[in-house]
Amino acid sequence: MQAHCWDCHADGASEGGLDLDTLGQTITGAADLSAWVRIHDRVQSGEMPPPDATTLNASDRSDFTTALAAPLTQYHAAEKGTVLRRLNRREYENTLNDLFGTALELESLLPADGRSHEFDNVGETLGISMVHLERYLDAADLVLDTAIAKTAESPETHTIDTHYAETREAETHLGKVWKQLDDGSVVFYQDFGYPDGMLRTTSIPESGRYRISITGYAHQTDEKIPFYVGAKSFARGSERPTLGYFDMPPLGPNGEMTTIELTAHLEYRYMLNIIPYGLVVRDYHIRNEGVDGYTGPGLAIAKVRVEGPLHEEFPSRGHRLIFDGWQRNEIMPNPPSKREKSWYKPEFELTSDNIAESLRGTLQRVASTAMRRPVTDQELLPYIDLFHVEQERDASTEEALRTAVAAILCSPDFLYLREPAGELDDHALATRLSYLFHRTTPDADLLRAAEQHELTRSTESLLQHAKRLVDDPRFERFVVDFTDAWLNLRDIDQTSPDQQLFPEYDTYLRDSTLEETRRFFATLIRENLPVTNLVKSDFAMLNQRLADHYGIAGVDHAEIRRVPLPEDSVRGGLLSQASVLKVTANGTNTSPVVRGVWVTERLLGVHPAPPPPGISGVEPDIRGAATLRQLLDQHRNEDSCRACHALIDPPGFALESFNPIGGWRERYRSLGEGERVDLHINNRRVQYRLGLPVDSSGALPSGESFDGFEAFRECLLKDPDQLARSLITKWLTFATGREMGFSDRAEIESLTRQSAQRGHRLRTLLALVVASEIFRTK
């Protein structure tokens, strides 16, 4: 170091932010470890010492990195298993809903979780505060209120049969923008009529899961009409959940209509929202003269039926979890006729022939289920004492029992994944496996295997359970949570595309882009396809809305399906998917830097150093007078910027061929200078102009150049090991709840070699992760 590093990094010099005078010669914390790992990696890669400064022969380089690796490995190995991991908000919500049979939205009740790089389930960032504890108590009360039966008999199921002609708005809109037909259906058109197609007569009487049936047909057309079904409330700021996208075909040969069915959770007083897509009204006289003479296509709705709440079990599993072993009887009102009143709310009395035994039974069931392991009698004592303290305060037996149960749901053994240091025991391993694939507490089969010590005794048993969990519908939670974090899809709504620049962006496109990426990633796993599909695949998961956006012909369905791609298609793989391209842009323009960092970090697993302090960012020019690439050329002349930008800019340049909403472009759109465009979207002429041409060429740090996105994609395909190594690292981080570090490198390299021998296939790769020592130890 004196011979090769001192001149630039000591005696008052600190190039690149590294000052060897202040860097300790022993590792005393994370900052020291990070600095020494950075030194190790830059010397190992040949980046340091710089070739123009001094020459370091291969033998000395190897000796240095080998000597430095030993203490780095030792320090990281000793520290990596010391952090407890708390359930994050999503895991907490899933766990309580699955334990108690509820379907509550609890995530928004809790403070936001911290993130480590991409992930929000890493123990180091998951602190806890008094605010957390207060919200946990609120959430526990809400879950118990919902799970505990409020009636002695199964609740009533409501049925609503309606259509648009029955709504209050029909008096205004029928004959003007809605059309009454002989079969009783109503036709309404996109961008006309009552806003968003809200059907007020479907107001939900109580929260729960409902079966929805929509009967109708495509009117005055031989083609299917795609339509959206959502829910909406008049409450200001309320969410507008999407329930699905469907196709409505024309009448059958004998005049029969089609009924579309779905089930969904709906909140109290929400109403259905039905909107057709792709309808362009060609004749403006519809506004002034009514719809009777209009010959364009429309969506005819004959009947909408809503049935629910649907009760798959009564009482709920949460009710049984708490009250099995007790007698819970309704207190008869005086006079008994009160029970027939609509406002009557039953009251109950909780009794037992042996209160101590019933209490212990409840707390044993709840605690062992919530804590994901057997619970000793000694561990139950604080909750038993709390029950008696509440009774001394004049609480009823049921109130005291609820308080004890709520305390369990706020205990560290529930909120934290209690994993022993070193090799995990069976229950900890079952918990880790379940929270990886189902994002919730272990199911009965996993707990049974843990009790019989199958998971630690047999790797084959562990892998069999992993396979079972992947094949389960709840694996969808893993797909959503992992892609939300890894690909940053959770920020899809962080920006809103400028409607003047991108008038084609709508809710249908937004929802379709997310579903495309999730279905694509799930398909790669379930079909065990090679990791290179992340960069380039011969298929895409598309519907008609996405196909129109991408310029792909022959797709006429509203649901996302697997669609083969032409050989010369730029689509296929993550980099050309609109969801990824949107979260790496703002609402008006793209940045090669932002997209380049996304590719290097998320796909390649390389984390560039942050920009030096005092270096200002590059501001885009939305007038179209200069491209961001032109501005970056000047920025890269800074000595402190050149090295990192040489790494991150090329991928960003390649992705310049895609606009902020994922459309292909040859020229930039501009609201200032440029060529006018003769194009109408939703009956309105576009306001943007075509500006400067796109240059998507570049050169990689290796010196390899590419002339556009397709060529860049081929460059990435040459190193499937890097793609696999990066995904292995991401999966291990997500599974273990800690960042991978220096002492993990040797095993990650071993897993990468094993994966290469098996063709780098995703499901096989996932099995290697589950069987790894990193997964099975803390």
Q: What is the mean pLDDT of residues 712-739?
A: 97
Q: How many angstroms separate the most distant Cα atoms in the chain?
A: 99
Angstrom distance (rounded) from CA 763 to CA 750: 17
Q: Which of 128-132, 141-145, 618-622 comes out lowest in average pLDDT?
A: 618-622
- Residue 111 tokens read as 């403070």
- Lowest pLDDT segment from 341-345, 506-510, 773-777: 341-345
Give the per-residue pLDDT at 622: 45
pLDDT band at 646 (very low <50, low <70, confident <90, very high): confident
pLDDT value for 285: 54
Q: Token digits for 373?
A: 């392991």
List the single range of 263-267, 588-592, 625-629 with lowest mean pLDDT.
Answer: 625-629
Q: What is the pLDDT of residue 623?
A: 47
The pairing of strands 684-685 and 680-681 is antiparallel
Evaluate if residue 625 carries a pLDDT over 50.
no
DSSP string, 346-404: --EEEE-SSHHHHHHHHHHHHHHHHHTS---HHHHHHHHHHHHHHHHTT--HHHHHHHH
| Average pLDDT of the segment spanning 582-598 | 92
DSSP 8-class letter at 489: G
Res. 661: pLDDT tops 70:
yes
Q: What is the pLDDT of residues 360-380, one digit of tens each?
A: 999 999 999 999 999 999 999
507 vs 516: CA distance, rounded Å: 14
Q: How many residues make up the chain in this entry?
A: 778
pLDDT at position 621 over 60: no
Given a contact cutoff of 8 angstroms between Cβ atoms, the answer to whether 362 and 407 are in contact is no
| Residue 250 main-chain phi, psi, to 5 deg | -70, 175
d(CA 505, CA 502) in angstroms, rounded, equals 6
pLDDT at 243 over 70: yes
For residue 309, cis peptide bond before it (omega within 30 degrees of 0): yes
Q: Where residue 73 falls among pLDDT bands split at 50, 70, 90?
A: very high
Q: How far apart are CA 524 and CA 766, in angstroms?
A: 11
Burial (CB count within 10 angstroms: exposed 0-12, middle 13-18, buried 19+), residue 290 = middle
